[in-house]
Amino acid sequence: MLRGLIIGRFQPFHKGHLFVIKKVIEEVDELIIGIGSAQFSHSFENPFTAGERILMIAKSLKYENITKQYYIIPIPDINNNSLWVSHVKSLVPPFDVVFSNNPLVRRLFKEAGYKIKSVPLYNRKIYSGKEIRKRIVNDEEWKDLVPKGTYEVIMEIDGINRLKDIIKKDY
Ligand code: NAP
């Protein structure tokens, strides 16, 4: 039984993330999807709560008819990088391999003795959380950049107006 871990902020969960998850889940028996920076919400960098991000991912993967077992688990940041891997381990099921391109994440798991694998890139110019957040506040086309599940959650929670409100400067 090979269980993998992939961690991202997923602000929001977009088609690039979906592409990556569909690829890496093929390499393992079970996949843990960690929602990083889980304590943050209602800022331009991190507009959506951990619960909302869980919904986006769960709905999007359901539409893809993924049959393999996966777990979606929120992981709040901690103020100490040298303890972070132990913190992650305390929150998620045991895992054998970590998928990440983030140099800090790779380094921390490597020092803890884990096997690390790189993840594929998928048109990073447009499939980017920052680009999607920017398009939402500027009323530009963004719907096609996210899976249907993410679009439905953003509409359900009035996410467009949330993003527009939190970037207002005059308060
Ligand atoms: P991230 O902050 O979510 O992403 C960093 C950048 O990499 C973003 O521009 C992101 O784009 C991009 N990216 C994400 N997946 C990618 C992919 N498959 N290919 C190319 N680029 C990709 O960081 P992360 O590595 O995805 O998530 C790491 C999480 O671990 C963060 O929440 C971080 O706070 C947490 N962490 C915490 C500690 C601590 O608490 N001490 C230590 C280490 C890490 P998108 O915006 O489009 O996703």
Q: Is the CB of 142 under 6 A from ligand 1?
A: no
User: Domain segments of the chain: what residues?
Assistant: 3-166
Report the C-alpha gap between 93 and 73 in whole angstroms.
9
Question: pLDDT confidence of 29, banded at 50, 70, 90?
Answer: very high
The answer to whether 57 touches 13, Cβ cutoff 8 Å, is yes
Give pLDDT tens digits for 48-101: 999 999 999 999 999 998 989 999 999 999 999 999 999 999 999 999 999 999
CA of 62 to the centre of ligand 1 (A): 23
Give pLDDT tens digits for 103-150: 999 999 999 999 999 998 777 778 999 999 999 999 999 999 999 999
Pick the CATH number of 3-166 from 3.20.20.140, 3.40.720.10, 3.40.50.620, 3.40.640.10: 3.40.50.620
Report the C-alpha gap between 12 and 53 in whole angstroms.
7
Q: Is the CB of 119 under 6 A from ligand 1?
A: yes
- pTM here is 0.95
Peptide bond into 12 cis (omega under 30): yes
The answer to whether 127 touches 14, Cβ cutoff 8 Å, is yes
Mutate to test the pocket of ligand 1, among 102, 107, 127 (most ligand atoms within 8 A of CB): 102
| Secondary structure (3-state) at 11 | coil
